[in-house]
Chains A and B, each alone.
Chain A
């Protein structure tokens, strides 16, 4: 990774992933990194199977040890593994420590994340700025935004990283990342930003690009289609019509629900801006493609 992206790396690694990577890396300490990577795919299945019972073991050393045995001598039978486990126990405590300090295990296996010029879209930063978030370039990556973010507390969404990647022009990474849609636009980040950056605008503009590139949720398209069909994201239903009548309100509110001409105006606007095509709305069928 180039600078600034560390927080995802740290936080994306859920407990599960973390223990898995650690185990793998310790086990294959003698093999070259590249080899380990290519092997990973093949290994995954047998490993996963073998790991299951082991994972439940409460004793830390045993876990690591079993893992190790699997990696090095896969062909050996279970009974042999168990005897080895008990024999090896005394060594275990020393060995992993040496390995860790030697090989920076946390950074291993990340070569595929290396960025090159090919990842950078030179225009993206300027496009985001032109689209209304001209404050983007002011970011000095303090991370206050991520610290304030209620979504980041429970999802892998890292707003600081989205801002950084936008500055760097990593367009594809920004727009293809599902977590971009975990923002509730609550503005907590923006209110606290010491640089006064319009962070929520950046998110929305990035989402506009994501939508254009086809990264749209089906449910979101559906909400869009309701507006095209009725003028409302949450249209009236018979139960509410009854309720309205019961309290002496007009059964249909004086909105596009009561004025077909007004609905036509809204529909015309969505045709003019191409929103219908963006969400794949079929006017003849009156639904999404």
Chain B
């Protein structure tokens, strides 16, 4: 376990907007004894909604270039963004399956002195925690259990298309709920839990009104379930629930104020990291309510632990 190492793919939104997610991940993996090696010179995954929709060849070429950086390192890739996971996983899968496409992409890559070989796997942060690190070891990292009711948001590209990815059941998964509950937090079921946040596929930049309408529905269902926070595994969903929550309030006159955490930040809290290290100040939606509650167990019945 201790000698395991991953090529750490940063992407765009996490490192360029919410660095607390990256910080928390680095601390967590250090604690778990799993190495993270920077992928020097990696670029955008690239965004599936724009590049995949505009030109498949460009999309696959840039994604394949990122993959070759990890191939040079000899490491599997780890990303904690569903969008990046989607682009890199799908490209890796496609080029391994489709010899013709691989040839085409390698012709493009040859111009920058690279070659896709198909030697590594693309992995998602949450799935590495669950399958490689394992729940027992992960539980040891939790030093300050959390008292929070959270709405787990899986996002779309973490489990789907399931015919290619096969991490968990795409309709009724449990992997994230189990990971979240390891921190002491409680995963609260809510209506249409598996629904998209609305940001993907280029919709957020193409038509913000429609995107906000998706988000409003999700937020309404989450609030009805009475959650203290939203937990996601994708910085783009994270941004949509954070920035998009403010936009939704502006557009629809709603008053949502549900704090948003990436799973890495939730584990950061459960390791006792403060809001500053998790860059919670950078969030548009104030996280104070969740921060005040998460370590406060005074309301719970001492005998049953609140069950």
* Residues of A bordering B, CB below 8 Å: 131-132, 150-151, 154-155, 181-188, 190-191, 196, 198, 200, 204-205, 207-208, 211, 216-217, 219-220, 222-224, 227, 231-237, 239-240, 243-244, 246-249, 253-256, 258-259, 261-263, 265-266, 268-270, 272-275, 278-279
Contact = CB atoms under 8 A, between A and B. Distances in A.
B149 interface: no
* 5 nearest A-B residue pairs (beta carbon): A262-B41, A187-B160, A186-B196, A185-B201, A259-B41
Q: Number of contact residues on B: which range applies?
A: 35 or more
A187 to B, nearest CB: 4
Contacts of A258: 40-41
B293 to A, nearest CB: 23
Contact of B15 (A233, A253, A275): A253
Interface of B: 10, 12-13, 15-17, 19-20, 22-23, 26, 38-44, 46-58, 61-62, 65, 86, 94, 98, 108-109, 111-112, 114, 156-157, 160-163, 170-171, 192, 194-196, 198-203, 205-207, 210-211, 213-214, 217, 276-277, 279, 282
A227 B201 contact: no
A278 B22 CA distance: 34
A177 B28 CA distance: 47
Contact of B19 (A183, A234, A247, A269): A247
Contacts of A263: 43
B274 to A, nearest CB: 10
Contacts of B211: 184
Given A186-B160, A208-B53, A254-B40, A235 B12 contact: yes
B251 to A, nearest CB: 13
15 contacts: A150-B195, A185-B49, A185-B157, A204-B52, A219-B205, A224-B51, A231-B43, A234-B13, A236-B15, A248-B23, A249-B19, A256-B41, A262-B41, A265-B114, A270-B58
